[in-house]
Amino acid sequence: MAMKVFIVEDEMMAQKSLIRTLNQNFPDLTVVGTSTSVTGTVAWLMNPENHADIIFMDVELSDGECFEIFRKITVKAKVIMTTAYDSYAIKAFEAGSVDYLLKPIELSALKRAVARCRMSGGNIDVEALLKSIGSNGTNHKDYKERYIVRFNDRIVPLQTSNIAYIYSEEKNNWLVTFDEHRYIIDSSLDVISEELDPDRFFRISRSCIISMKAITSIIKQSGSRLKIIPEPKASFEMTVSRSRVDDFLVWLER
């Protein structure tokens, strides 16, 4: 039976890769739309002209976590979550007909998830999902979800999911977002490193904290040092301190 697919994924390479894999391996699945955000997903699902049988949904989106979608609207489609983090979300995704895929997505796991959707008669058990993740969608510790920064005469709320990296320079702490904005943040890096989810952020040196999603490549340097090439590009050479290299490599493999 032909099924319509909607993809919610804010990393464009991952989004395109999933579409390509679906087109190559599931001729009866048709991708009818995509979104990169909570807001865009809610708007698409609320449009009566749109319909999806299966939704592939990334956990971390450009404007927050996907759990907000279920609080804003009733999702009638079967949902397959995708995540790079084998943490608290995994058990929650097993509620009802929900399945999950760990990134990078393997074809065998994708086939399993699609097969479960074909066989499942029900939709996502929203109550079970929200109960599993808790009332605020956090893991065991309440990690910071947003920071309030100041830009000229404006006060700007920033979701932590939009933070690429934070660094110290010329006695200021700078926060850089994935859309390439830069803001001064008042908190110290010591405080910030305790507030951010360690599955998503790592303090590579005394002067820099980086998001896993911001790392595009890593270059080995002399003396066991590692140079990080981030996106967006940094105005300084971003290197991992020698004392943190081992922990950093373990963190990358989570």
In a domain, 83, yes or no: yes
60-81 pLDDT per residue, tens: 888 888 888 888 888 889 888 8
Q: In what order do the strands lie in the sheet with 201-205?
A: 182-184, 172-177, 163-169, 208-211, 201-205
pLDDT of residue 96: 42
**185 pLDDT above the threshold of 50:** yes
Same domain, 168 and 242: yes
Same domain, 79 and 165: no
Residue ranges making up the domain that contains 76? 3-133
Count, residues in the chain: 254
In a domain, 57, yes or no: yes
Same domain, 116 and 152: no
Same domain, 112 and 7: yes
**56 pLDDT above the threshold of 50:** yes
Structural Rg of the chain based on CA atoms: 19
Same domain, 150 and 218: yes
Query: Is the separation of the CB atoms in 182 and 176 below 8 Å?
Result: yes
Same domain, 101 and 152: no
**211 pLDDT above the threshold of 70:** yes
In a domain, 141, yes or no: no
Which of 74, 104, 133 is at the close of a domain? 133
Same domain, 94 and 155: no
Same domain, 182 and 208: yes
Same domain, 156 and 117: no
Residues 6+ apart with CB under 8 A from 210: 164, 165, 201, 202, 204, 228, 230, 238
110-149 pLDDT per residue, tens: 998 898 888 766 566 666 666 655 544 444 456 888 888 8
In a domain, 12, yes or no: yes
Query: Which residues are registered as beta bridge partners of 3?
Result: 29
The arithmetic mean of pLDDT across residues 82-92, rounded, is 60
C-alpha 19, offset from chain centre: 18
Same domain, 84 and 175: no
Same domain, 63 and 164: no
Question: Residue 195 corresponds to which amino acid?
Answer: E
Q: Residue 104: pLDDT band by 50, 70, 90 thresholds? A: confident
Which of 133, 162, 182 is at the close of a domain? 133
Q: Which of 200, 248, 165 is nearest to 85 (CA)?
A: 200
Same domain, 128 and 151: no
Specify whether the backbone of 64 is left (phi greater than 0), alpha (psi in -120 to 50) or beta: left
DSSP string, the chain: --EEEEEE-S-HHHHHHHHHHHHHH-TTEEEEEEESSHHHHHHHHH-TT---SEEEEESEETTEETHHHHHHS---SEEEEEES--SHHHHHHTSTT-EEEESSPPHHHHHHHHHHHHH--S---HHHHHHHH-TT---SS----EEEEEETTEEEEEEGGGEEEEEEETTEEEEEETTS-EEE--S-HHHHHHHS-TTTEEEEETTEEEEGGGEEEEEE-GGG-EEEEESSPPSS-EEE-GGGHHHHHHHHT-
pTM: 0.53
Residues 6+ apart with CB under 8 A from 100: 80, 81, 82, 83, 89, 90, 93, 94, 113
Which of 133, 158, 187 is at the close of a domain? 133
What domain count does the chain have? 2
